[in-house]
Structure 1
Amino acid sequence: MDEKIMKDPSKKLTKNDLMNVYLRHYQLLGCFNYERQMSTGYAWAMTPVIKKLYGDNDEKLKEGYQRHLEFFNCATSTAPFILGISCAMEEQYANAKEGEFEESSINSVKAALMGPLAGIGDSFFWGTFRIIGVGIGAPLAVKGSILGPLLYFLINVLPSELVRWFGFKAGYKGGSEFLTRISANGTLQKLTEAAKVLGLVVIGAMIASMVVVELPTDININNAKVNLQETIDSIMPKLLPLLITFGCYGLLQKRVSGTWIMFGLILLGIIGVALGILK
């Protein structure tokens, strides 16, 4: 893999470092969990880079691991492109002077890319090439023809491997050039802020559309029926879902496990409905 030449690099990733990252990406689904999905596999893949760039600084080494243990989920066929960019950004950060590079932009770029690339990877490889390959290859394989697995390999596996390899190369090579340019003119900082704003807008829309918390339709107050839910919505629509979301976020900030929060919400729902507090 071609290496990009940076100005006065104090730390530089080698072909061997990058190859180690690429080979480790096949374990992205290792230790998959429902809280942070592929984060453990991503951190494992980035380990050679983190050790190479920050091995002499325990604090930055720890920060590097924590950075890549954040939530990540993407199609495995397109994820190497993001890994390549992460390698380029980590290299840029390791060689930048204090205040010249915002490290939070590394995860901002990951978050911005994983959704669109997941859609592309799932649509092409899980939803199209895999089905076509199985549809053509399985009948031949059942009849004992070697063409069955061979055609499946040519239709599904080979395109996936090519996308993985060239995507990783393009991510690192293009990422180095692109990041050097946009870091110099301040565009990276603007993109990071834009990504944060977009993320908050998307989360706000998801709270309103996907979090459902409703109170009983009517309650009796001195023999008068009051629609409590409509009263609250007249003050602020979707106020209860927002409060529940803020409560969960506060618990996550206190390092309460997402799994325990999920069980707590289930228990709250059961008790609330049984007591007539929730609809």
Structure 2
Amino acid sequence: MSEILNNEATAADNGHVLTNADFRGITLRSFTLMSSFNYERMQSLGFLYGIMKPLRKIYAGDDEGLREAMHRHMAAFNMTCAPSTFVMGIALAMEEMYAKDKTMDTSGVNAIKVSLMGPLSGIGDTFFWGIFRILACSLGVSFAAQGNPIAPFILLFVFNLPNVLVRWFGIKLGYTQGSSLIEKLEKGGQMQLVTHCAGIIGAVSIGTMIAMWVSINCPLVFQIGEMEIIIQDYLNQIFPKLLPLAATLGVYGALKKGLNTSAIIGGIVVIGFVLGVLGAVSM
């Protein structure tokens, strides 16, 4: 904690433009991360809203740079809410570097964001949903069982104290430590390697999410003599989760071609309905 405060004290000397007031604003706005969640871009709108004011400060006088930064942060983003400010801090540190050096590759910011979503979500889910929530509820229930009116406040306090602290110090740590780390990587010529590895981790994370969330099976069964041929079994032997992957890549291809999202959703409904009636696919 003291190291974070020391880093903040020397932020001006390192050329950083964000202050405590900016950190407070990001911390407060981070609580709206899920307020506009959607299945196209997930938390991206909340993420952009959280860093919007600092972005305007970083790109002051550079409207085109601000527009490009806003467009970058509209990419799909999804993770446990509390540690998300750490990613916001790193993203702002990188945007600060891009604003100063227009020759830098801006693809790194989203690669870093995607690579951090999985690991930080695993940590966040473990602590906030697996530990703090259970502890807070246990204490709240024990007070409520005794008829104590402060029971709900105990629950809210125990759960939200670490929640607020992680958000507050996460933004500071990501902004101060993240920028220095990125500068070292850039000077050492390792930034491209880190970006490449982050992209690999992101692709693996996306593949995992497809396997977990997209459920499409082929229920077709053929009878040849006494032998029963189940198509899905053969598909699993050739390529497990082949149909979910094909469907996801199809939607991705449609998005890359610029098709309207509503049209894509409508197409999925129609195709799914027809194939479902024919018995070719099932959920």
Q: Do Structure 1 and Structure 2 share a fold, with TM-score over 0.5?
A: yes
Q: 5 Å matches for 1:14-53? A: 14-53=19-58
Residue 54 of structure 1 corresponds to 59
Asked if the contact 1:13–1:91 (Cα under 8 Å) also holds between the matched residues in 2, the reply is: no
| Structure 1 pair 126–204 and aligned structure 2 pair: CA distance change class (3 A) | closer
| Structure 1 pair 163–240 and aligned structure 2 pair: CA distance change class (3 A) | closer
Asked if the contact 1:4–1:176 (Cα under 8 Å) also holds between the matched residues in 2, the reply is: no
* SS of residue matched to 1:218: strand
Question: Is it true that 1:114 corresponds to 2:121 in the alignment?
Answer: no
| Structure 1 pair 213–190 and aligned structure 2 pair: CA distance change class (3 A) | same
RMSD: 3.4
In structure 2, what is the Cα distance between the partners aligned to 1:208 and 1:122?
Answer: 20
Question: Is it true that 1:185 corresponds to 2:215 in the alignment?
Answer: no
Structure 1: gaps of 5 or more residues: none
Residue 167 of structure 2 corresponds to 164
Given the two structures, how large is their TM-score scaled by the length of structure 2? 0.80
In structure 2, what is the Cα distance between the partners aligned to 1:173 and 1:26?
Answer: 21
Residue 218 of structure 1 corresponds to 222
| Structure 1 pair 145–245 and aligned structure 2 pair: CA distance change class (3 A) | closer
In structure 1, what is the Cα distance between the partners aligned to 2:152 and 2:237?
Answer: 62
In structure 2, what is the Cα distance between the partners aligned to 1:139 and 1:264?
Answer: 52
| Structure 1 pair 263–143 and aligned structure 2 pair: CA distance change class (3 A) | farther
Residue 176 of structure 2 corresponds to 173
Farther off after superposition, 147-156 or 200-209: 200-209
* SS of residue matched to 1:62: helix
Deviations 1:178-210 (A, max 9, x none): 111111112121111112223334545665775
Question: Is it true that 1:252 corresponds to 2:259 in the alignment?
Answer: no
Count of residue pairs brought into register by the alignment: 272
Residue 95 of structure 1 corresponds to 100
Residue 70 of structure 1 corresponds to 75
Asked if the contact 2:26–2:85 (Cα under 8 Å) also holds between the matched residues in 1, the reply is: no
Q: Aligned-pair distance for 1:174?
A: 0.5
Asked if the contact 1:35–1:259 (Cα under 8 Å) also holds between the matched residues in 2, the reply is: no
In structure 2, what is the Cα distance between the partners aligned to 1:201 and 1:76?
Answer: 21
Percent identity between matched residues is 35
